[in-house]
Structure 1
Amino acid sequence: MRETQHRQRKGESEMGGKRGKQQRQPARPRLRDLSSFVDESDHLPSSAYDPPSHQDKESGASEEEDDPRAEEKWIDGPPSKFELYQRSVQSPKGDISYMQKFFLMYVGGRMPLHLQEDFCGTALLSCEWIRSDPRRTAVGLDLDLEALNWCLEKNLANIGIDGCSRISLFHGNVLKPQEAHLVKQMVEDFGRKGQDITTEVARMNVGSESGKEVCSISSTMKEVGLPGRDIICAFNYSCCCLQRRTDLVMYFKHALHALSKKGGIFVMDVYGGTSAECKLRLKRKFPNFTYVWEQADFDIINRTTRISLHFQLGKKHIIQHAFSYNWRLWSLPEIQDCLEEAGFCSVHFWVRKMPNTNSFGNTAEDTVDQDLKYEELSSFQQQDAWNAYIVGVAN
C-alpha cells in the first residue's frame, strides 16, 4: 500500500466524451493520437515518495509548523490512517487516465473494462474505476483484511448498489491469488435519505437474502467466475514488498495468467534516484494534516530499506508508523528481466523526473516543472528523484 490524492482533481476524463470517436480510431494509434486520453484537467498521478509542490510552498504552508486548530477541522473526529493515506498518497483519476492510454497504445481494438488491483488496500482505485464507466468491473486483492473492511464500510458506500455489484474484494496473498477468499458485502435497501449501504465480513455460503446481495468469504478466486482482466495494476511501489526475484517472477506469472486472452497489460510503478538510496525524511503539508515519508538507511548489497509513513494532525495528535514496510528497491532492468521471464511479450518504461529532495527549503531551487508528464523512454540519466510506470504487454 503506498496507496498524493489532491482534492483539486475534479476534472472529468475526456475519455467519456470522446468514446464514440475512439471507436473509429485504429487499433494501435500512435502516441500523438492518444494525448486526449490523459485528462489534461487532472493533475498527475502522485506518489508516496513525493516532495512538496510549488503550490504547497506558495500557499504559505510550513513544513515545520502545524496548525494547532487542525484537529478541530475534522467534523467526525480524527480520521483513520486509511483516510489519511488516501488523501496524501493516492490519485486514482490520474492512474486510470494513464492506464487507459497504455491499453489503447499497446493492445487497442477495444475499451478496457475489467481491472484487477493487486495490493489494493482500501481499493480506492477500483472504486474510481467502477465509477468511471457503468460497464466496468473491478477485482481487488490484498492481504490486509482491516483495509478491506474499511473499504467495505467507507469507499463502497459511495458507489451505490450498482457499483457494489461490479466489484469483488479478495483477502489473500498475491503469490497465491487463486486461494484468496472473497470478502462478503451485504448491501441493504436504499434508505429514504439516500444510499444507505451497510457492509460486513461473514463466513457463510453464497446466496441471497431479501433486499440484499450477499457474497461469501468462503468462496475463493478460483471458484468465482471472473472475466479475463484487461488491466492488472500494482501501484504505490507495492512490488517492493516482494524481496526475492523468484517471488517477483511468480507474481508476474500469476498476473499474466489472469489477463484476457484477447490481450491485456500489467502496470506497476517504482521510484528511484540517488535520494532513494540513502536515509531520508520528506514532509508534505496538507490543509489539516502533515504527511511524512521516512526512509531508513539503505543496504546497497541487498537493496533493501524500511519505509515508514507518519501523519500529524495539529501538535498533539501524531500517528507514528501508521504504515511501515520492509522492501527491496527493484531497478528498472531487473523488473524488465522478470516480466520477460514471466512471459510478457514487451515491456515499456514511462518515466517522470521529480523535484530534487535537497532543495525543499528554497522554492527557486526547485527547477522541475510540476506539470511535467510521464514519457516513454528507452534511456534516462540518473537524477536525484524519479518516478516510473512499467508496462508489461500480453498479446
Structure 2
Amino acid sequence: MTISTPLCARVSLFDMYEAAVQSPSVDVDAIVRICDEELAMTPQSLKEDFSGTGYISATFLEQFPNAIAVGLDLDEVSMKHGRRKHFQANSQLDSRMTFVKQDVLNPSTKAMPVDRFSVIFGGNYSFFVFKKRTMLLDYFKTARSMLDETGSVFILEVMGGPNCQIIAEDEPRGCEVDGVDFDFIWRQSNYNPVTNELMAHIDFEFPDGSSISPAFSYDWRFWSVPEIREAMEEAGFSRTVVYWASLYEEFEDGLTADHYSRTTDGRGIDQAEAWLAYVVGVVEPTP
C-alpha cells in the first residue's frame, strides 16, 4: 500500500509564509515613494531588519541594479532558504546581497559591505517583539546610528485598530505555492488590554485535511503611532512622518503603496476597524 505524503509536507513553510503574508512589491514601492517624497532621494542601500528569507531585499535589488542590501535576522534556516530561492540562481542579485545572523539590537558592520544605509526597513510588525520602551528606544538608536548622514529613512510597518485588540479568527484566505492550494488563517488567541500585548498565530490548512497549526506564533506588544514617533524623535531623528492606510474589503486583493496617505498630524485620514501604516524616521542631510 502506498502512503501519500500529506499536502502540508510538500511545500516549504517559508514559501507558504511568503505567499500568504508578504507583498514585497508594495513595500518596495512604498520605500521608493517615501524616499522621493521626503528627501528627493534614490535609495542606494537597504538594511532589511528581521529579514527572514530576504524577499523584500530581493525585490529591492531587482528594481535597483546598482544598489546593495543586507538582511539581518537570527533565524539562519530562513536566511539560507532565501539565499537558495531568491539569489543563487541570479549572480547579479547574489553578489549584492549579504545575509548576517545578528540581533538587530546589537549589529556589527564587520560582515556588511557598508556601515551606513539609505534605508533601514522593519516589515511585518516584527519590532512589536520589543515589550519594553527601553528596548524599543535602543533599537531606534541603533538604527539611527547606521543611517547615512547625507539623507536617509528608517521605515517601520505598523498595524492597529480595534480588530487587533480582540480574541478572533479571520476567515480562511486561499493561497497557492507550487501547485499546492492551502488556506491561510490569522488567529488571535489572547489580548491583554492592560499591557497591550497580543498572542497570535498563523495556521495553514490543506484540502486533504492536513494542517500546520500553528505554523508561526507571535507574542507582541502593540506600540501606538504616537509612542513610536516620540521614541524616534528621542533617538535622534530629524523628523517623523506617517503613511496611513485604513483597511477595507476592496483593498484585500489590491492594496498598493498609493493607498497610503501621508500625514504628520492625522487630519483627513479615514478611520477603520483595522489599519496599516509606515511610520518613518527621517535623517535630513547634514549641512
The answer to whether 1:165 aligns with 2:58 is: no
Residue of structure 1 in register with 2:106 after alignment: 176
Q: Please point out which of 246, 250, 255 is paired with 1:353.
A: 246
Match of 1:327 among 194, 199, 220: 220
Shift of 1:93: 1.1
Matched with 1:244 is 132
Aligned pair in 2 of structure 1 residues 153, 334: CA closer, same or farther (>3 Å)?
same
Q: Is 1:387 equivalent to 2:276 in the alignment?
A: yes
Higher Cα radius of gyration: 1
Q: Could you list the runs of 5+ residues in structure 1 that have no partner in the other structure?
A: 1-70, 179-220, 356-365
Deviation at 1:86, TM superposition (A): 0.4
Instruction: Give yes or no for contact 1:351–1:389 (8 Å, CA) kept in 2.
Output: yes
Matched, 1:230 2:118: yes
CA contact (8 A) 2:184 2:203 kept: yes
2:228 counterpart SS class = helix
Name the one with the larger strand percent: 2
TM-score (normalised: structure 2): 0.88
CA contact (8 A) 1:291 1:312 kept: yes
Contact 1:293/1:307 (8 A) holds in 2: yes
Measured after TM superposition, the shift of residue 98 of structure 1 is: 1.1
Alpha-carbon deviation of 1:242?
A: 1.0
Q: Is the 8 A contact 2:246 2:271 kept in 1?
A: no
1:222 offset after TM fit, Å?
3.0
1:131 shift after superposition: 1.4
Q: Secondary structure of the residue that 2:88 maps to in structure 1?
A: helix
Partner of 2:81 in structure 1?
A: 150
* Structure 2: distance between partners of 1:329 and 1:304: 6
Q: Report the count of equivalent residues.
A: 268
Measured in 2, the distance between the counterparts of 1:393 and 1:144 equals 29
Larger mean CA deviation between 223-232 and 238-247 belongs to: 223-232
Q: Specify the code of the residue in structure 2 equivalent to 1:350.
A: Y
CA deviation after TM superposition for structure 1 residue 312, in Å: 1.3
Structure 2 gap segments, 5+ residues each: 1-5
Distance of 1:133 and 1:273 partners within structure 2: 34
Cα deviation for residue 146 of structure 1 reads 1.3
Aligned runs of 1:274-313 on 2, under 5 Å?
Answer: 274-282=162-170, 283-287=172-176, 288-313=181-206
Aligned equivalents of 2:69, 2:49: Cα separation in 1: 11
Query: Deviation at 1:133?
Result: 2.2
Letter in 1 for 2:173: R
Mapped to 1, the partners of 2:55 and 2:196 lie a distance apart of 30
Indicate the percent of aligned positions where both proteins have the same amino acid.
29
TM-score by length of 1: 0.64
Residue deviations 1:198-242 (CA, integer Å, cap 9, x gap): xxxxxxxxxxxxxxxxxxxxxxx3354415211110000111011
Q: Alignment RMSD, CA only?
A: 2.0
